[in-house]
Structure 1
């Protein structure tokens, strides 16, 4: 296969992965919140505090079940928008699968109906994922064709008319049954692997989950978990969950072990959202990638915890993000506590006993810090970091600095120094200057979900660079067309070493201009 064909194939795969992640991202919060509500109701019902026949239970159950039952509607909206189509048309196509006429026929045992002489096999499409994904990819292509051939002034109602009339029957005839078959097949494969060697499957998933989340690839696994829940419990998140507890443990250990107030604050900012909501971005971006020795701890602890959960057959009964509050959503709950507890204890012990700084980290810490002038790594307009639509940067959790709205897709070295971190998705990198400044350059917001698409690096980790050297290039226009904000954050991750970090007063900068001045 030629390099061109390989690149084309990789581009298509990246596009599909990016659509999947971009479609779930807008609703992942409400999915997790609804899942926690369902888990809480289950616990209250089991301990006898709330009858599942009471009005209170019924109302709260409706609140928890709504997004899962109507998932094809929500995904129809988000996928259509992500693919450049009309979100309301996408939602209407998903809703057609759940209309009372269809649902009532399914509930009464009717297996098929006739459409223009063709047999339509009826099925329960509530909570399904794959049928609507297939339908939306076809709809996106149809919508592009209609925009080319339909007179512009009547597209507003003609395009939806044609799309609904074509896509709803096709979905019920072909895409729905095929999508359900795909979902059931993938679920069966996962179940088979878990049954054959839950220990091995759990070890692999628990050990790799941290890397998957850092690279944004966990978004491609979450749909499989949700699809499993449509047919019963899901083992995937059950095996991955201990990795999250290992990450939280590392942050807790660093919080108690470090004497650095800034690092202590960073660790604390990651512990609470991780423990309560399962969101650990502050931990793996602010701690794991900075103190890379801790990644080994998380991998080992997550693998052991995942192996325990896998061997015990721990499953997730309602969709949640793994956290302390979501423990009731897993069963057997006692075995889940063993696996998650083992990962937590190991992560905590490794960090407290072995420390969190590697040789390279220690070298940075004992290095004499000197005042530094950080040039702008990009050409564009300066934006206060507080205005960036990403809490980790806007709240100075990772460090102080500034942001730039770039007008060209090139990133230059802002100092003389060494490339100490290069994200696998190529959207971000870290440089340690010869004067000891640790600089993180993070291109865009949530661009980790692009999985490296539209980015081209010119350096590798460990390279020595001079100020003004070209580090990476990115396709600014295509990134924005994909729905991502390209505002780039330039942050000093060892902010605590400096008495003052002053941002330029210039509204526009290029690589020849100073962006930050670091004073002791």
Structure 2
């Protein structure tokens, strides 16, 4: 993968650097906050080689890359300087709901910390293993130094959150960090030795332990962001360098100690108590529900929102019960990758299944499985839900707890759970169940037997007929051209699949076979039809016509509709589209090319009429 080239393409397709407010990344995703989401071409991004999926949710425009995300991020940041960019939120800023904004702040603040969370969590897991094996004593200096490496990020979490939250709001990260540091400063923490409270100018100040706390900083920095912007409006520019930090610290540190900090701590405790109560009331049912729906939470990119609750649970010293109930979902995804690897004969799919399974086992990252296999073969989604729900119910019944923070499930993070054996049992239930389903029932709706042959067939003819052939008829009137002549690299390179293209002379697109409408788009310029035998035909009218936003197109069917060969799918204005400067070359490709033994072009280049033979697809059963 050419990371530099991919980075430039992504930046261009999200609307250029001037459309980017901020950019962070997690283990697999680039997380953009855009000034205007409509300026981004999500459809073309998803068709770009190296991009697994585009997810718009939680106030973010998320581009899923996979394991190479950090390298792509470096090149994009080099182009736009987003790590240090203080982008203004002008009038063009994307309007989002309050809920989306909250999720955006939580996700954008925690995502940059996930790598260090994972590293520190592994250090703590390593210490647990070494101590249990008797290779290191808990009172030794070696243990203390390693413990410092594992505990530092969690103990000083308010400072680190100050930095990341401030970057989301585009305010001074160092002032925000100083607010968090004040809660851990020795003079302040020493006040706790005198009793349960103290005072500031006669105002009572509750004394609480803010180490590892999360919610106080989200509230404090959110208010600080409002204060900083206000101060910059009323203070002369020449005085802002020292006046804004001075006034901010004088106001925010006492306010945080008196009101925001205690309120944030209590909010975190209340949420944790509520969630834990529901889980403890019936851990089996709670596990089954959480396990079954967790895939969709991850799919929407909202999964980091539970991290503050997990951190709050761990801060109590009693462990966390949430992560063990979520872990089987990851194990089930790995199981599906393994099952598809064992089932398929397609070399590319086998390589994908094997590599993503290995990556999941070693790193705990399952998004490549999610977007590369599960969403591609939606039959496996049913397997995932069932296997996840069963495994999570088992974890709930066995009472497993997380004792050292880690959000990823891999062979290296297993010791962070207790009892370890019970945790592994729940994971194995999900993994094995998810792996068995594809082996028994296939991984795609196209996994069917060939059409039955007549009993009177000659044996040789019966053997030949086992190679079922599907004919894709021309959906258009016009002129046939080779796919390599399409002025769109996604199609001409056959990244979307093998096929052919037509330059239409009439504005009517017909169904090329019997089947169901599998995919439609809001701009009505493209549509896919899936036949009963699994052949999926994508028809994309014109080049870059998504930019027309539906002008000159009239879609006659909806996603899920049953259609017959020759039914009208879309009508479009040929002259109107050309007048706006767009070419009408229409690629017609088989998006699941890898499932078939051979795809042949049945039509010669030149004129073609609707419903003439266009492509012939052979599948070896």
Residue in 1 that maps onto 2:413: 326
Matched, 1:30 2:77: no
Moved more, 266-275 or 326-335: 266-275
Contact 2:268 2:308 in 1 (8 A): no
Alignment match, 1:271: 357
SS of structure 2 residue aligned to 1:221: helix
1:416 to 1:36, Cα distance in 2 relative to 1, 3 A = farther
Contact 1:205 1:239 in 2 (8 A): yes
- Contact 2:191/2:198, CA 8 A, preserved across alignment: no
Q: Is the 8 A contact 1:400 1:492 kept in 2?
A: no
- The offset of 1:360, in angstroms, is 9.1
Contact 1:267 1:283 in 2 (8 A): yes
1:341 pairs with 2:436: no
The CA distance in 1 between the partners of 2:223 and 2:363, in whole Å, is 35
CA distance in 2, matches of 1:467, 1:42: 66
- Report the Cα offset of residue 462 of structure 1: 4.1
Query: Could you say what secondary structure the match of 2:264 adopts?
Result: helix
Contact kept in structure 2, 1:419 and 1:430, CA below 8 Å: no
Q: 2:151 aligns with which of 65, 83, 91?
A: 65
For residues 371-406 of structure 1, what are the alpha-carbon distances to aligned partners after superposition, in whole Å with 9 as ceiling and x for unaligned? 6469679xxxx99xxxxxxxxxxxx9xx947xxxxx
Task: Show the counterpart of 1:412.
Answer: none
TM-score, normalisation: structure 1? 0.72
Give the structure 2 partner of residue 505 of structure 1: none
What is aligned with 2:126? 40
What is the CA–CA distance in structure 2 between the aligned matches of 1:237 and 1:289, rounded to whole Å?
Answer: 24
RMSD: 4.0
Question: Which residue number in structure 2 is paired with residue 473 of structure 1?
Answer: none
Q: Which residues of 2 match residues 339-378 of structure 1 at below 5 A?
A: 339-359=426-446, 372=483
**Paired residues for 1:187-336 under 5 Å:** 187-232=272-317, 233-320=319-406, 321-336=408-423
- 1:183 aligns with 268
CA distance, structure 2, for counterparts of residue 64 and residue 223 of structure 1: 18
What is the distance in 2 between the residues matched to 1:101 and 1:286?
A: 53
CA shift for structure 1 position 332? 1.6
User: Secondary structure of the residue that 2:139 maps to in structure 1?
Assistant: coil
Correspondent of 1:19 among 101, 105, 113: 105
Task: Say if 2:256 is the partner of 1:171.
Answer: yes
Equivalent residue number for residue 502 of structure 1: none
Structure scoring higher RCO (CA < 8 A, sep ≥ 6) equals 1
Following TM superposition, by how much is the alpha carbon of 1:54 offset from its aligned partner in structure 2, in angstroms?
A: 2.2
How far apart in 1 are the matches of 2:109 and 2:448? Answer: 38
* Alignment partner of 2:174 out of 84, 88, 94: 88
The structure with the largest helix share of the pair is: 1
Distance 2:439 2:151 in 1: 42
| Larger of the two Rg values belongs to structure | 2
Superposed displacement of residue 139, structure 1: 1.1
2:328, 2:427 within 8 Å by CA — same for their partners in 1?
A: yes
**Counterparts in 2 of 1:114 and 1:293: CA distance versus 1, 3 Å:** same
Q: 1:252 to 1:146 in 2, by over 3 A?
A: same
Q: Cα gap change, 1:421/1:430 in structure 2, threshold over 3 Å: closer, same or farther?
A: farther
- Unaligned 5+ runs, structure 2: 1-93, 451-467, 474-481, 497-509, 541-554, 564-568, 574-588, 598-616
- Pick closer, same or farther for the CA change 1:374–1:186 going to 2, 3 Å: farther
Q: Deviations over 1:307-348 (max 9, x none)?
A: 111122211111111222211111121221221111111111
| Residue deviations 1:289-317 (CA, integer Å, cap 9, x gap) | 00001111111111111111112221111
1:497 CA displacement: 7.7
Is the CA contact 2:518–2:529 (under 8 Å) kept in the aligned structure 1?
no
Alignment partners' CA distance in 2, 1:254 and 1:348: 8
Q: What is the distance in 2 between the residues matched to 1:346 and 1:238?
A: 18
SS at match of 2:137: coil
Per-residue CA deviations over 1:164-216 (Å, capped at 9, x if unaligned) read: 11111111111111111111111111221122100111111111111111111
Q: How far apart are the structure 1 equivalents of 2:339 and 2:559?
A: 28
The answer (yes or no) to whether the contact 1:367–1:436 under 8 Å persists in 2 is no
CA 497–302 in structure 1, closer or farther in 2 if over 3 Å, else same? closer
Distance 1:80 1:265, change over 3 A: same
* Map of 1:478 onto structure 2: none
- TM-score (norm: length of structure 2): 0.61
Cα distance in 2 for partners of 1:374, 1:419 equals 27
Number of residue pairs matched? Answer: 425
Give the distance between the partners of 1:362 and 1:98, measured in 2 at CA: 67
Mapped partners of 2:485, 2:331: distance in 1: 37
- Kindly provide the CA deviation profile for residues 22-70 of structure 1, in whole angstroms up to 9, marking residues without a partner as x: 1111111111121121011111111201112222222211111111111
**1:147 matched to which residue of 2?**
232
Q: Shift in Å at residue 281 of structure 1?
A: 0.8
Within the candidate set 56, 62, 73, 2:142 is matched to: 56
Is the deviation greater in 116-125 or in 146-155?
A: 146-155
Q: Is the 8 A contact 2:108 2:168 kept in 1?
A: yes
Contact (CA 8 Å) 1:276, 1:324: kept in 2 or not?
Answer: yes
Contact 1:438 1:494 in 2 (8 A): no
Q: What is the CA–CA distance in structure 2 between the aligned matches of 1:368 and 1:169, rounded to whole Å?
A: 75
Cα distance, 1:332–1:351 mapped onto 2, change above 3 Å: same
Specify whether residues 498 and 353 from structure 1 end up closer, same or farther in structure 2 by C-alpha distance, changes over 3 A only: closer
1:391 aligned partner: none
TM-aligned CA distance change 1:431 to 1:131, over 3 Å: farther
Counterpart contact for 1:270–1:283, Cα < 8 Å: yes
Rounded to whole Å, the distance in 2 between the matches of 1:91 and 1:122 is 20
Cα separation, partners in 2 of 1:115 and 1:439, compared to 1, 3 Å: farther
C-alpha contact (below 8 Å) 1:416/1:466 kept by paired residues: no
Q: Where in structure 1 are there 5+ consecutive unaligned residues?
A: 1-7, 384-395, 402-414, 441-457, 470-490, 500-519
Q: 2:461 corresponds to which residue? A: none
